[in-house]
């Protein structure tokens, strides 16, 4: 088990805390959420850039914006799309370059969140593998 396999406050915990808040707001403005969902699906669809790369870009933007919800959401999506820990680390490194010192704080959170989701996928893959 890696050091990141332990519970984190930057991945699943953030998503769990935000879920009821999003549900409540989605009920108040369903058309806005539906439109945002369509935009998201279009933006993240595979094209010349694969979804994995687009999710890493979004993760890096989450670091620059200091958005823990973005970090958790796009960290999870990047891991699910097949991004590696090294790819996540390098995308976060670009955020450091573009945003300086503040990015080092949210960058560390982003890498922790990404690794939490990647570890969960690794564990699921191991559990699904025949012994």
Residue 3: what pLDDT? 44
Residue 7: what pLDDT? 57
Q: What is the pTM of this model?
A: 0.83
Distance CA 73, CA 71 (A): 6
Within the chain, which residues score under 70 in pLDDT? 1-8, 130-131
Secondary structure (3-state) at 45: coil
Residue 24: what pLDDT? 95
Residue 92: what pLDDT? 97
How far out from the chain centre does Cα 45 lie?
A: 16
Q: How many CB atoms lie within 10 A of CB 121?
A: 13
């Amino acid at each position: 088990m890696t050091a990141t396999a332990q519970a984190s406050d930057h991945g699943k915990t953030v998503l769990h805390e935000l879920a009821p808040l999003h549900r409540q707001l989605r009920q108040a403005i369903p058309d806005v959420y539906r439109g945002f969902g369509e935009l998201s699906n279009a933006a993240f669809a595979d094209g010349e850039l694969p979804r994995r790369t687009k999710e890493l870009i979004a993760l890096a933007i989450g670091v620059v914006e200091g958005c823990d919800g973005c970090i958790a959401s796009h960290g999870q999506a990047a891991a699910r799309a097949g991004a590696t820990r090294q790819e996540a680390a390098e995308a976060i490194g670009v955020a450091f370059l573009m945003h300086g010192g503040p990015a080092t704080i949210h960058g560390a959170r982003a890498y922790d969140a990404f690794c939490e989701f990647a570890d969960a996928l690794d564990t699921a893959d191991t559990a699904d593998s025949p012994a």
